[in-house]
């Protein structure tokens, strides 16, 4: 998809995995014209900390775009890292979405329903996929430690041709990426962890395929993740994910600089208890999206924001 001029009315710039740029308004019209059946996207928070402003802006953008396209919004709580997932963070996800006034069409609607769809239930499926890739020589066992790899930006392939055995607690499983110069992604990322849990990328691609997700809007820090997941999906013959539209938005930065992140403690309490009102969050989103400043003060809710968002898209 070639470079497109940033739209004047909804000016947020986006990039795909090839780093082609497109304004949000132009992307909306492109997606509307391409609509084959129905766009399906998802909100996919990780319960490893309280959601911060960057997460909330991503949720609002996904929700606004999918609702404007008459698409379906899903909720998927990415609790793949069972060592970091905590019940209070899961509960806070539902409370945050309710506080924002966002609804969704598929996925768990309550904490109780989330317990029934935890990623712990699909670990056997993910193990089978890992075994499949090993059998097809598309993956290999690796016992390299983090200390050994500190000096390397990409995995140097120490274990790639050693045919090590897969042993829980001793080896991770790495995807054997194409090393040709024109390869879409050339790093051998981990798909099964040393602690005998599926890696994030394998679980994410699997669930997106299961949910028939075909539109993903995520932060610009995940462009490499998108490239890897697309290559992984092709190797697994996940046709839906392989053909999905994946776009990346600019990050919300910390007031002191740098991106907001849970690991850096960007949000030590639930955002709905932080003193910010929903109206203030909505007004921040208006400015981030590039909507007209004159709308900021009169928009108080997500539904009001959707009305203005759709109106601006129609005029663009």
CATH of the domain at 248: 3.40.50.620
- pLDDT tens-digit profile of 152-197? 989 999 999 999 999 988 999 999 998 875 678 889 999 999 999 9
Instruction: Decide if 224 is inside a domain.
Output: yes
Q: Residue 239 contacts by C-beta under 8 Å, 6 or more apart in sequence?
A: none
The phi-psi region of residue 15 (left if phi > 0; otherwise alpha if psi is between -120 and 50; otherwise beta) is: beta
Instruction: Decide if 133 is inside a domain.
Output: no
Whether residue 307 has pLDDT greater than 60: yes
pLDDT confidence of residue 178:
87
Instruction: Decide if 278 is inside a domain.
Output: yes
pLDDT confidence of residue 262:
54
Instruction: Decide if 159 is inside a domain.
Output: no
**For the chain, how many structural domains are there in total?**
1
CB atoms under 10 Å from CB of 234, counted, come to: 14
Instruction: Decide if 63 is inside a domain.
Output: yes
Instruction: Decide if 299 is inside a domain.
Output: yes
* Distant-in-sequence contacts of 279-285, Cβ < 8 A, 24+ apart: 281/53, 281/56, 281/60, 281/100, 282/60, 284/53, 284/57, 285/56, 285/57, 285/60, 285/61
Whether residue 291 has pLDDT greater than 50: yes
Sign for the CA dihedral angle at 28, 29, 33, 34 comes to negative
pLDDT confidence of residue 255:
60
* Winning range, highest mean pLDDT, from 83-87, 211-215, 249-253, 297-301: 211-215
% of the chain beyond a pLDDT of 70: 89
Among residues 56, 114, 107, the alpha carbon closest in space to that of 85 is found at 114
The counts of H helices and E strands in the chain are 11, 9
Question: What CA–CA distance (Å, rounded) separates 55 from 72?
Answer: 19
- The stretch 257-270 carries a mean pLDDT of 62
CB atoms under 10 Å from CB of 303, counted, come to: 13
pLDDT confidence of residue 5:
32
Question: What CA–CA distance (Å, rounded) separates 262 from 81?
Answer: 14
Whether residue 116 has pLDDT greater than 90: yes
Stated pTM of the model: 0.90
Instruction: Decide if 291 is inside a domain.
Output: yes
Structural domain for 91, as ranges: 13-119+211-315
Whether residue 290 has pLDDT greater than 50: yes
pLDDT confidence of residue 151:
85
Q: Assign 1 a pLDDT band (cuts: 50, 70, 90).
A: very low
Instruction: Decide if 189 is inside a domain.
Output: no
pLDDT confidence of residue 3:
32
Whether residue 259 has pLDDT greater than 80: no
């Amino acid at each position: 998809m070639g470079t497109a001029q940033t739209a004047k009315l909804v000016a947020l710039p986006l990039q795909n995995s090839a780093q082609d740029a497109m304004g949000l308004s132009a992307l909306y019209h492109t997606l509307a014209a391409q609509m084959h059946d129905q766009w399906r996207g998802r909100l996919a928070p990780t319960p490893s900390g309280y959601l911060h402003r960057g997460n909330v802006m991503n949720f609002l953008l996904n929700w606004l775009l999918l609702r404007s396209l008459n698409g379906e919004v899903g909720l998927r709580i990415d609790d793949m890292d069972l060592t970091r997932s905590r019940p209070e963070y899961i509960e806070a996800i539902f409370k945050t979405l309710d506080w924002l006034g966002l609804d969704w069409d598929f996925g768990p609607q309550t904490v109780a329903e989330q317990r029934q769809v935890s990623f712990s239930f699909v670990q056997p499926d993910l193990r089978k996929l890992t075994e499949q890739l090993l059998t097809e020589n598309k993956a290999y066992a690796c016992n390299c430690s983090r200390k050994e790899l500190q000096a390397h930006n990409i995995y140097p392939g120490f274990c790639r041709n050693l045919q090590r055995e897969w042993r829980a607690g001793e080896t991770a499983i790495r995807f054997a990426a194409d090393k040709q110069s024109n390869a879409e992604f050339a790093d051998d990322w981990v798909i099964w962890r040393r602690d005998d849990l599926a890696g994030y990328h394998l679980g994410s691609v699997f669930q997106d395929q299961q949910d028939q997700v075909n539109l993903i809007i995520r932060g610009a820090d995940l462009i490499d993740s998108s490239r890897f997941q697309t290559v992984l999906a092709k190797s697994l013959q996940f046709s839906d994910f392989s053909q999905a539209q994946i776009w990346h938005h600019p990050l919300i930065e910390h007031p002191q600089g740098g991106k907001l992140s849970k690991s850096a403690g960007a949000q030590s309490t639930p955002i709905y208890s932080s003193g910010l009102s929903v109206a203030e969050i909505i007004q921040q989103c208006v400015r981030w999206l590039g909507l007209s400043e004159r709308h900021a003060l009169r928009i108080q809710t997500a539904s009001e924001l959707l009305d203005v968002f759709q109106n601006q898209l129609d005029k663009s």
